[in-house]
Amino acid sequence: MNTSLRSRFWLFMLLLSVALVACTPNRAYHTRAPAPDEPLCVAALPSGCADEVWYRVRAEAEATEEKRQPEQPVYLGFVEFDDQGALHDPSLKDAVINRIDALAQQQSVLMVVFAHGWKHNASADDPNVIDFANVLSRIAYYDEMVCAHRSCAGRQVIGVYLGWRGLSATTEPFKEISFYSRKSRAHRVGTDGAVEVLAQLAKIKAIKRTGQGNDNQLIITGHSFGGALIYSAVQQQLVRDTAFPANGLIPRSSANLIALVNPAFEAARFATLERRARTLEHARNQRPILAVFTSRGDTATKIAFPLGRGLSTSLQQHVSKKQARQNRTALGHYMPFVTHDLDLKQDPAMGDDQTVQMRAFQDIGCDWQNFQFGATHVWRLGELELSRRPHMQQGSQPQNPIYNVSVDAAIIANHNAIWGETFSEFLYRFVAVQTLPAGRECR
């Protein structure tokens, strides 16, 4: 072997060694299911119950006037998938589903599913795990407000965290290079293992207890490639549902609401659903089914995503420039598909450190009903406003259940700033008003 070949060989071996060291293991983080008669682990932070697939979330602080806590207990379960999209351990998934099903047999439940994105996983110290546990308590608090003196009073809030190998490398440049492999893995998990889990949760959503109605709710959320995972799991069902409207209503078979935040998938995957929803005549009491929220300050999906897609699709053939743009542009930044805007209307004189003023939940329900019926095209929540774009104000489009919302960067600053107080407070309200009974518009 000459000197040049020997040098190349050792350089290759060095790079291979660094890559192997930088890789994260393809393993599950939550591997213990408590026995049915065993006291549950209770913790404010997930690290307190690090290997548990099911535990009770304790409020992180005592309730205050500004930060109230729910009266009902809140539970969090974990379901994890490997790089081939399969469940790491089906028996652990069954343990979580059985826990939820048992609760749903006794009382109504609000199930909130979250799929994390790129560079994250299900480890107890992952920021997404910690933030999701905290968010659940706030969702429970708002749900108790909306259910007061109604049949859903006492509804149990349950979180389900879908974990996958979004973080496959720990050092650069391997973390950035993983864009291509992690995107494909997210779609693989979505079309394989996640479909089973979401179908089982949808079945629980449909449970009607003897002598009572059905107040169960299923909210599915995803961020970044987690948004791609969720959309891959529900895409075919969403399109299929548009073919079977009942009295003008598109059924909400997959969930009561699907909310994707800064999702990292191309607009081309959305084209069929967008066309179907745009060309249908919608009933006045049609509820939102899918809501996509993308920050105008999200440079990861606005700039980096199309660069990555440009490379990966460079050898693909497209029938038109429009199709090529759809295949390389992230959904939230493809303007022809954007339907709504979420803007901050704060007085500039108040300064950046001023807390955004939001209207109390009990004051926004009536306005939401009017917005939903098309009596107004702006839903005002204090200094936040959700508005329809002009093409969504025509005919029955105000009732179009597919939202693709462009979000002010003052509300979601960047790709990962999805847990900020302002957007969280909006999302709590947006989710909560979906449970209001469909009645007449308010006066």
pLDDT of 34 reads 93
pLDDT digits (tens, 9 = 90+) for 376-406: 999 999 899 999 999 999 999 999 999 999 9
Nearest-angstrom CA–CA distance, 411 and 413? 6
pLDDT tens figures, 212-246:
768 899 999 999 999 999 999 999 999 999 999 98
pLDDT for res 15: 42
Q: Average model confidence (pLDDT) for the chain?
A: 87
Instruction: Give me the pLDDT at residue 94, please.
Output: 98
Identify residue 338 by its one-letter amino acid code. Answer: V
> What's this model's pTM, rounded to 2 decimal places?
0.89
Question: Which pLDDT belongs to residue 230?
Answer: 98
Residue range 362-373, pLDDT digits in tens? 678 888 989 999
CA dihedral 127, 128, 134, 137 (to 10 degrees): -170
Q: What are phi and psi of 295, to 5 degrees?
A: -75, 140
Tokens representing residue 312 in the block: 């990966």
The number of beta carbons lying within 10 Å of the beta carbon of residue 204 is 18
Within a 10 A sphere around the Cβ of 44, how many other Cβ atoms?
Answer: 15
Average pLDDT over residues 72-100: 96
- What distance, in Å, lies between the first and last C-alpha atoms of the chain? 86
For residue 432, name the pLDDT band (cuts at 50, 70, 90).
confident
Let me know: does 405 contact 294? Beta carbons within 8 Å: yes
Q: Which residue has the higher pLDDT, 224 or 207?
A: 224
Mean pLDDT of 325-351: 87
Mean pLDDT of 96-111: 95
Residue-level pLDDT at 37:
87
pLDDT at 98 over 80: yes
Greater model confidence, 323 or 20: 323
Each residue's pLDDT tens digit, 21-36: 446 778 899 999 999 8
Q: Which one of 45-49, 166-170, 268-272 scores highest in mean pLDDT?
A: 268-272
- Lowest mean pLDDT across 110-124, 304-318, 379-393: 304-318
Mean pLDDT value of segment 186-215: 90
Tell me the C-alpha distance between 119 and 59, whole Å. 27
Q: What does the pLDDT read at residue 2?
A: 61
* Nearest of 110, 28, 119, 127 to residue 70 by alpha carbon: 110
pLDDT for position 12? 44
